[in-house]
């Protein structure tokens, strides 16, 4: 596997053989190396070649100020490319066996942080409730799980703890989170510690 990957790296990173309609699907940024759109396209190319785990990063979501302009730019950089990746995987018959997980480190408050002006206010960190989306890999298409209060401040129905999310992802990858353990300092640890349950309602 390692030898095969070393041989295919130049091929994977060279997007020159992609047709114009693929670049149009992912957006104009996909022609520029290092952009999130180009990385999404590269992720599809890696999945096609059997790479098992692929992780993409997109920075600068910490909008304590300058939110209106900042969130607009970041959504422009990520929305089309993220949707294109799922669409492209599905068109090529890869989505059924590929789990896509899209999320961040926490949510943001639904109220303003800082002085409110038309172009320079922000939102603080909000760990109580926020959204993660998944596609493919055994996830039920079009389903929504969990509900917040009308203000988006507290979970009021079907909350998913981070251990539950991890247990569910592991299940979708074919791993029983209660059996997979590793030994550390004399104790058997699970990846979900001593808790976590699979969220059956999101499974296809």
Q: In this model, does residue 34 exceed pLDDT 80?
A: yes
* DSSP-based three-state secondary structure for 156: strand
**Of 160, 102, 175, residue with least CA distance to 136:** 102
Contacts of residue 32, defined as CB under 8 A and 6 or more positions apart, other chains included, come to 38
Q: How far apart are CA 22 and CA 26, in angstroms?
A: 6
Q: How far apart are CA 8 and CA 5, in angstroms?
A: 5
Is the C-alpha dihedral spanning 10, 15, 18, 22 positive or negative?
A: positive
Q: In this model, does residue 37 exceed pLDDT 80?
A: yes
What digits encode the pLDDT tens for the residues 120-142? 899 999 989 999 999 999 999 99
Structure confidence at residue 6 (pLDDT): 52
**Length, in residues, of the chain:** 204
Q: Is the pTM of this model over 0.75?
A: yes
Q: How far is CA 179 from the centre of its chain?
A: 25
Q: What is the mean pLDDT of residues 54-59?
A: 94
Radius of gyration of the chain (CA): 19
Identify any residues that bridge with 182 across adjacent strands, giving them in sequence order: 189
Q: What is the mean pLDDT of residues 56-76?
A: 92
Structure confidence at residue 9 (pLDDT): 77
Q: In this model, does residue 18 exceed pLDDT 80?
A: yes
Would you state the structure tokens that stand for residue 57, as one six-digit string?
A: 């990063």
| Strand ranges for the chain from DSSP E | 100-102, 107-108, 125-126, 133-135, 147-148, 155-157, 181-184, 187-190
* DSSP-based three-state secondary structure for 9: helix
Q: What is the mean pLDDT of residues 181-188?
A: 90
Neighbours of 62 (CB within 10 A): 14
**Of 146, 147, 130, 141, residue with least CA distance to 199:** 146
Max intra-chain CA distance, the chain: 56
Confidence of residue 91 (pLDDT cuts 50, 70, 90): very high
- Sort 2 into a burial class: Cβ within 10 Å, 0-12 / 13-18 / 19+: exposed
Q: In this model, does residue 3 exceed pLDDT 60?
A: no
Q: What is the mean pLDDT of residues 61-89?
A: 95
Confidence of residue 4 (pLDDT cuts 50, 70, 90): very low
């Amino acid at each position: 596997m390692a030898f095969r990957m070393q041989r295919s790296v130049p091929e994977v990173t060279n997007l020159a053989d992609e047709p114009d309609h693929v670049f149009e699907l992912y957006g104009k940024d996909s022609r520029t190396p290092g952009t999130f759109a180009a990385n999404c396209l590269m992720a599809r190319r890696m999945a096609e070649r059997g790479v098992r785990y692929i992780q993409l990063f997109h920075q600068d979501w910490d909008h304590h100020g300058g939110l209106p302009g900042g969130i607009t730019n970041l959504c422009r950089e990520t929305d089309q490319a993220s949707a294109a990746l799922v669409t492209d995987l599905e068109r090529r018959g890869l989505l059924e066996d590929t789990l896509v997980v899209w999320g961040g480190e926490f949510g943001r408050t639904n109220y303003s942080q800082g002085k409110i002006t038309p172009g320079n206010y922000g939102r603080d960190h909000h760990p109580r409730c926020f959204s993660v989306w998944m596609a493919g890999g055994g996830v039920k298409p079009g389903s929504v799980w969990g509900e917040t209060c009308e203000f988006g401040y507290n979970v009021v129905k079907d909350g998913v703890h981070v251990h539950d999310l991890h247990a569910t992802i592991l299940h979708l990858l074919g791993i029983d989170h209660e059996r997979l353990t590793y030994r550390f300092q004399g104790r058997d640890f699970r990846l979900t510690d001593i808790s976590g349950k699979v969220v059956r309602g999101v499974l296809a």
